[in-house]
Amino acid sequence: MGNKVSKKNAMAIIAVALVSFSGIMAETAMNVTFPALTKYFNTSLNAIQWVTTAYLLSVTIMITTSAYLNKKYSPRVLWLMSLLLFTIGTFIGGLAGNLPILLIGRVLEGMAAGISMPLMFNLIVRLVPGSKIGLWMGIGAMVVSLAPSFGPTYGGALIDTLGWRSIFFILLIIPLISLILGWQTIIPGEQIKSNVSFDVLAFGMLSVTLTTALILINQLGKGTVNVWLLIVMLLALGAFIFRSLTSQQTFLNIRLLSNYKFSMLMFPVVLYMFANLGINLLLPNYLQNVLHTSSFWAGISLLPGTLLGGVLNPYFGHLYDKYGNKVPLLLGNTVFASSLLVMAYFIKSLNFSAFIIMYMIFTLGRNLAFSIGMTASINELSIDKKTDATAILQSSQMFMGALGTTVAALYGSQRGGLAIGFENFLWTLLAIALIIFVMFFIRLRSKSI
């Protein structure tokens, strides 16, 4: 029995995983609705992309509090909190009559995902015996990896039949299932008492920094730079860094960024997230607006690639165990860069089927380097630093994902049109892939890998 996961514990993990899955799926499901939403709300793609960006920003900010929340509250309290936020946010999103109300719903959904994702992995660590921890961590990673693949297909199918509001209302079934599975299995437990207080000031400063940064970048689409907003961002960033280095209260341990082994893998990992969510926004819109594909088939275009990447995640872990991180990192980034080169150079001659194949190759390379890089960056740290490293990685990934959607929307709104914008974005990602090569080779020469 000591080597088995009880039915009760398995159901508890699944109950929390459902909230994480639905939150991530809701994020990607909205990408294929952008053409319809721009018409419905009579606005631009640059404004509509905040449907995704606001969600990711909300997840980012919430994840930064995860270490503190897990010290202060029981899993049951956090699970119920995420359920309530997701239900209210999804209901508001489905009823939204204007863009600001829709964004409020998305922010609440993001807060729910920001609580449930770290909680899912925390429950796995607490409830699964050591002999099964690898399997269940793989299952957790698969939930996070596969959810984005179902989102565009789910959204594309519904927007062509029942309309974009149905994307929200049908999702309300998932919190109900989670409640049924978790009510008797996620036990109240004792509240964890911590003598270390939460650094509200540092949290507020980081939130202001991230929010103003995205607004500033978004405004570049209008050809303007708000100087006062730039000053606020720089002051908030400086104050956050100073506060983090001097405060004794609990928040993010940014001193980890000075750790060469960690930072030289962290930056490639977050750049892969930037690339992934940027393409996930532009490709379905390119297929609809340039190749005149239906919303349903535009959503389907991402499914084979993301499914392939998610299913192969356990095998990628095997490669790490067998070869270390040198070969998988270089191989993954080579495949990643090659796919971008082909798509950028031959974009005018690629049809729908060709884009599906190229996206599969893109995801294969990206997922290989991404998963190995994330594992290696944390694995080389001492135990007392792993929690902080995980929080930094997860929060920075979400922010870079939000940044990716914002930048991609700017490219898509260029005067030359979506076709030119998508091509230029692909060339930009290829340049990023080359920068990642430089990071890997610098690390190789230092004999850190």
For 3, the 3-state DSSP assignment is: coil
Cα–Cα distance measured from residue 105 to residue 248, given in angstroms and rounded to the nearest whole number: 35
pLDDT, residue 73, reads: 80
R_g (Cα) of the chain, nearest Å: 21
Nearest to 68 by CA among 119, 108, 27: 119
pLDDT, averaged in runs of 10, over the chain (449 residues)? 70 84 80 80 77 81 79 83 92 88 90 85 72 62 69 78 85 89 74 65 86 76 74 89 80 78 84 88 86 80 80 72 78 94 92 92 89 75 70 78 80 78 93 92 64
Compute φ and ψ for 225, nearest 5 degrees: -130, 120
Q: Of how many residues is the chain composed?
A: 449
pLDDT, residue 148, reads: 67
Cα–Cα distance measured from residue 359 to residue 304, given in angstroms and rounded to the nearest whole number: 8
Cα–Cα distance measured from residue 162 to residue 298, given in angstroms and rounded to the nearest whole number: 17
On whether the 1-195 domain is CATH 1.10.10.10, my answer is no
Compute φ and ψ for 149, nearest 5 degrees: -75, -30
pLDDT, residue 190, reads: 52
Residue 164 C-beta-side C-alpha neighbours within 13 Å: 21
Cα–Cα distance measured from residue 76 to residue 431, given in angstroms and rounded to the nearest whole number: 45
pTM over 0.85: no
- Superfamily grouping for domain 256-449: MFS general substrate transporter like domains (1.20.1250.20)
**Cβ-defined contacts of 310-315 (< 8 Å, 24+):** 310/142, 310/145, 310/146, 310/149, 310/367, 311/142, 311/146, 312/364, 312/367, 312/368, 313/138, 313/141, 313/142, 313/145, 313/367, 313/371, 314/138, 314/142
Assess whether the region 1-195 and the region 256-449 belong to the same CATH fold. yes
pLDDT, residue 1, reads: 45
Structural tokens at position 416: 């030359």
What Å distances lie between residue 261 and 256, 334, 414, 446, CA to CA?
A: 10, 21, 38, 10
DSSP per residue, 386-446:
HHHHHHHHHHHHHHHHHHHHHHHHHHHTSTT-HHHHHHHHHHHHHHHHHHHHHHHHHHHHT
Compute, in degrees rounded to 10, the torsion defined by CA atoms 70, 76, 78, 80. Answer: 180
pLDDT, residue 174, reads: 87
Residue entry with tokens 């978790």: 182
Contact 332, 309 (CB under 8 A): no
**Domain map of the chain by residue range?**
1-195, 199-249, 256-449
Chain centroid, CA 417 distance in Å: 27
